[in-house]
Amino acid sequence: MKYIHTFILGFAFVCSFSGSVCAQEKIAKSIASVKENGEFINFSLTSPRPFIFGNNRYILHIGSNDFYRNKQSINSDRTGSMTFFIPAGEFNSLKEGAAIYLTYGQPSTDNNDLEELSKADVPCWSLGKFSKTLLRK
């Protein structure tokens, strides 16, 4: 009888924690600004939390173009900032209306895959459609 009582208490203890476990919500990322800076376009993103600093890298996908070169920072209010450096010539050749995605650790892939990934619980975010009107000089 003692073992049954211990089993029931242990089972109740484990079950009490199972309801509080849930998947984390994907933190939104958004375009903050797009500005000309010499021969580069600074394509800046923000997040309500700091971006991940790790062994993988963030990749900005605009249409069929992938951009890797970026800098990250944590703001004083604990939000995150990231700026991608896009060569001006490449920026000017980007297609109007192309889909924009940010991925973390995801290899280059086509936009259909990125669209599906952005809906899943993986580090891929849809940032809207590209337009040259995003550029502020």
pLDDT in tens, 25-42: 668 889 999 999 999 999
- Residue 93 in any domain: the answer is yes
CA angle centred on 41, ends 48 and 114, rounded to 5°: 55
Helix, strand, or coil (residue 39): coil
Which pLDDT belongs to residue 25? Answer: 60
Which pLDDT belongs to residue 28? Answer: 83
Q: Kindly indicate the confidence band of residue 22, based on its pLDDT and cuts at 50, 70 and 90.
A: very low
What number of other Cβ atoms are within 10 A of residue 124's Cβ? Answer: 24
Domain CATH code at residue 43: 2.60.40
**Token pair for residue 90?**
């490449």
- Residue 58 in any domain: the answer is yes
- Asked if residues 83 and 66 have their Cβ atoms less than 8 Å apart, the reply is no
Distances (CA, A) of 107 to 66, 85, 91, 114, 118: 10, 19, 21, 10, 14
**Token pair for residue 109?**
């892939």
- Residue 108 in any domain: the answer is yes
- Residue 40 in any domain: the answer is yes
- 8 or 48, greater pLDDT: 48
Total structural domains in the chain?
1
Which pLDDT belongs to residue 19? Answer: 45
The answer, yes or no, to whether residue 45 has pLDDT greater than 90, is yes
Which pLDDT belongs to residue 76? Answer: 83
pTM: 0.75
Which pLDDT belongs to residue 3? Answer: 57
Per-residue pLDDT tens digits for 80-131: 899 999 999 999 999 999 999 999 876 666 667 888 888 787 788 899 999 9
Which residues, in sequence order, are CB contacts of 91 under 8 Å at separation 6+?
41, 135
- Residue 96 in any domain: the answer is yes
- Asked if residues 87 and 39 have their Cβ atoms less than 8 Å apart, the reply is yes
- Residue 124 in any domain: the answer is yes
DSSP string for 66-127: EE--EEEEE-TTS-EEEEEEEEHHHHHHSPTT-EEEEEESPPP--HHHHHHHHHTTSSEEEE
- Residue 12 in any domain: the answer is no
Which pLDDT belongs to residue 34? Answer: 96
- Residue 75 in any domain: the answer is yes
What number of other Cβ atoms are within 10 A of residue 93's Cβ? Answer: 10
Task: Give me the domain span that covers residue 91.
Answer: 30-136
